[in-house]
Structure 1
């Protein structure tokens, strides 16, 4: 007996209604990307390994899906590495390509490769799947879509202001009220590490601080000590554990804390510019919050850092994030190409909207009417009407088989189709159509124009 087919962990099949809902979200994101002047690009699903490896840190490299070379991939394998079962070194000789881990590094590669064709500043958006060999859990999958918008070739902080507005515009259009757009700055984190004398422990310090809302103040302090950060430094950073107040008040507190750090004060002024202008311009339904514990990918962020939290009523991780990177293209030889970008987490946004029951009923609407098949002559007559209805943008279909009428009505019911169109000898003789409301049971005889009006 054949085994039951399955799919890999962390991947999913999507039903028609799920696809319709996903496309609804994507279309809103896409239309707003374009309203803000972003242009679409696409890159291959897999890249040369050397393009991806070493760009995400040791943990990121581990999560990249490697693709075995075609044919006899062991033919070129290093025998010593094979004998020693050294998987890290062996991989480079049997795998030259890998599935993309995100859209940012492929975008950097794209900019460098096509720099002579691009008009800078270049505003691009990209909506494509990415793959990570991560442990699957709620809202985290091994295959998922990213929806990114980036600007490269400009250091202007007005870009950050607009990206905050873009977040707010998209979530407002999706009906997601109460979203919190958190902002911080990489220079502020560097400045804090500097003033407490822990610059060499910047990554350890920020990774621990980023966990404040998960493991609490005591947990963060314990992790910092374990990472070699002195108790004296932790005392100096104490104000960050209860960092409250308005955005303006938080900026002033940071200004006092970082007064001796040139790098830190640059971060404060950048935050001040972005936050003040966002507040002056106003947001629709989102809240802006300065979160000094926010760290994100310090491997390439150099300025503003963003993370979006869903409404407080939903238990879900971030639904978006991004930041400023001053020299991401430098990894491919193109120096001084500053960029800033944000990403929308499609899968998590879907789960939040579903939980809050915010999808419009029209999103999953199926055909308006099913034409019942009574035979070839009736089917041909039906298709003539169907052709005209479809050209007017009305979703209708013909049941393909001349089978029991009860079975055809049952099919319409299971599909959620609200109307049936019945065509027999009488209808064909009078050039008319019998329209039956499958909810109320009411049936009326109509000419074509009346049928069209009833189905609109």
Structure 2
């Protein structure tokens, strides 16, 4: 009998049976990773924002990263609606391709939903701030991301113009404390814009389309606005009136004169002038002007609207306004609300360009380890420093002292503590200042106090 042995076939695991595409290590388009230096700089900025908002009497709101789709839909206009990141139904319903949730587009609408839900637990007038990420399915570009942070302030329950003033002053103060060099607040009113539409003969059903086109004036110019107005099928008289004003030698003066020819428009400009007159004397790092061209595209604005523009750039770094009717989408009655949001990502980029950023990634004080026997002493010293409020870390690299000093320098530590055999025998440590190279001896018990004095 002849026994035939089949050829040997190496075993393949289920994972090996499929060709696996090597994943890209870069983050998805429109999102970012942050190394310690960048993350620390951002944390410092957010901490400053929070401290200023708190000093102005605002308290934090927190809402989920995602909302029911119906909560967000219909709040941001036709263009904004397209940018909502929708979440498909889960489990067996996933195959339908339908969505029932969405990542939050901004912080304002979720905050309004929370206010309506918990209104009975809140005071009559609420000053709220919120800092957190939002998501938009936008085309990424410089300063424009699909995932980014917003820093918002809002006043719920006050129709007083002083609430609008307070919001503007809070946002302005953040920029001043952060050291942003120069900004201009452009202020207008939706009442003024409605007056402009009426004076130009724009039908009410076409108001939003005309305002969206006007809102792009700074970016696309007169020709671009002209194309968009004609595409919106506005009456010829209305298009001609708007374009004539934009093409005049002084577009702002021409638009203002046309707005003042309408009673509602005149009242809107007067309200904006009043707010500007209250804010202007209190600004330290910027200026404010009423700009009849400013439109802002979001549907929910009802009164004063504003944008902050950095002096060294055309992009908006903050924006907001009054949206008294938004509450009626969640409640039976309307509630007066005004607020604003910092374009914090653009602000961070401007700050990095202006002042640079190299925050230390390590602790203030670095404690070396002479050898394995001395590890316990080093840990005790680190614990004593931390107990005194000194940021301290113990060496984890090992090796010679010169190598440990190099690691301390790489990590940006300001002070290094060494306890070699001589220091240990005397019950002392050597404390070295990394920038100057100066060093001194101190008792081990007194080392935390000496370090605290050096880092003042």
Query: TM-score over 0.5 for the alignment?
Result: yes
Count of equivalent residues = 430
Superposition deviation, residue 404 in structure 1: 3.7
Partners of 1:392 and 1:182 in 2: CA distance: 48
Instruction: Give 2:421's aligned residue.
Output: 425
Superposition deviation, residue 242 in structure 1: 4.8
Conserved in 1, the CA contact under 8 Å of 2:104 and 2:110? yes
Partners of 1:297 and 1:234 in 2: CA distance: 18
Partners of 1:294 and 1:223 in 2: CA distance: 16
Cα 1:380–1:411 shift into 2, 3 Å? same
Superposition deviation, residue 19 in structure 1: 1.2
Deviations 1:272-294 (A, max 9, x none): 22122223x43111110222111
Superposition deviation, residue 231 in structure 1: 4.0
TM-score, normalisation: structure 1:
0.87
Asked which structure has the greater CA Rg, the reply is: 2
Conserved in 2, the CA contact under 8 Å of 1:139 and 1:316? no
Is 1:349 equivalent to 2:354 in the alignment? no
Superposition deviation, residue 440 in structure 1: 4.9
Instruction: Give 1:387's aligned residue.
Output: 383
Deviations 1:295-343 (A, max 9, x none): 113410011111111122xx45211100100110111134221100000
1:72 partner SS? helix
Q: Which moved more, 1:333-342 or 1:1-10?
A: 1-10
Is 1:33 equivalent to 2:29 in the alignment? no
2:64 partner SS? coil
Partners of 1:433 and 1:291 in 2: CA distance: 65
Instruction: Give 1:263's aligned residue.
Output: 264
Partners of 1:182 and 1:160 in 2: CA distance: 13
Partners of 1:3 and 1:148 in 2: CA distance: 36
Deviations 1:348-407 (A, max 9, x none): 110011111265x6x546323321112344222222222222222222211135434343
Superposition pairs of residues 29-428 of structure 1, within 5 angstroms: 29-74=49-94, 77=96, 90-91=97-98, 95-200=99-204, 201-237=206-242, 238-242=244-248, 256-279=257-280, 281-312=281-312, 315=313, 317-357=315-355, 363-364=359-360, 366-400=362-396, 402-428=398-424
Could you tell me which runs of 5 or more consecutive residues in structure 1 were left unpaired when the two chains were aligned.
78-89
2:93 partner SS? coil
Is 1:17 equivalent to 2:23 in the alignment? no
Conserved in 2, the CA contact under 8 Å of 1:203 and 1:298? no
Superposition deviation, residue 434 in structure 1: 1.6
Superposition deviation, residue 155 in structure 1: 0.8
Partners of 1:379 and 1:297 in 2: CA distance: 62
Partners of 1:390 and 1:308 in 2: CA distance: 42
Partners of 2:260 and 2:392 in 1: CA distance: 68
Partners of 2:258 and 2:78 in 1: CA distance: 32
Partners of 1:432 and 1:335 in 2: CA distance: 72
2:196 partner SS? helix
1:144 partner SS? strand
Superposition deviation, residue 439 in structure 1: 4.5
Superposition deviation, residue 432 in structure 1: 0.5
1:9 partner SS? coil
Cα 1:430–1:244 shift into 2, 3 Å? farther
Superposition deviation, residue 441 in structure 1: 4.6
Cα 1:421–1:364 shift into 2, 3 Å? closer
1:434 partner SS? strand
Partners of 2:282 and 2:211 in 1: CA distance: 30
TM-score, normalisation: structure 2:
0.87
Q: Which moved more, 1:236-245 or 1:215-224?
A: 236-245
Could you tell me which runs of 5 or more consecutive residues in structure 2 were left unpaired when the two chains were aligned.
1-19
Conserved in 2, the CA contact under 8 Å of 1:48 and 1:97? yes
Instruction: Give 2:5's aligned residue.
Output: none
Superposition deviation, residue 71 in structure 1: 1.9
Partners of 1:74 and 1:60 in 2: CA distance: 25
Conserved in 2, the CA contact under 8 Å of 1:178 and 1:286? yes
| RMSD of equivalent CA atoms | 2.4
Partners of 2:163 and 2:46 in 1: CA distance: 22
Instruction: Give 1:87's aligned residue.
Output: none
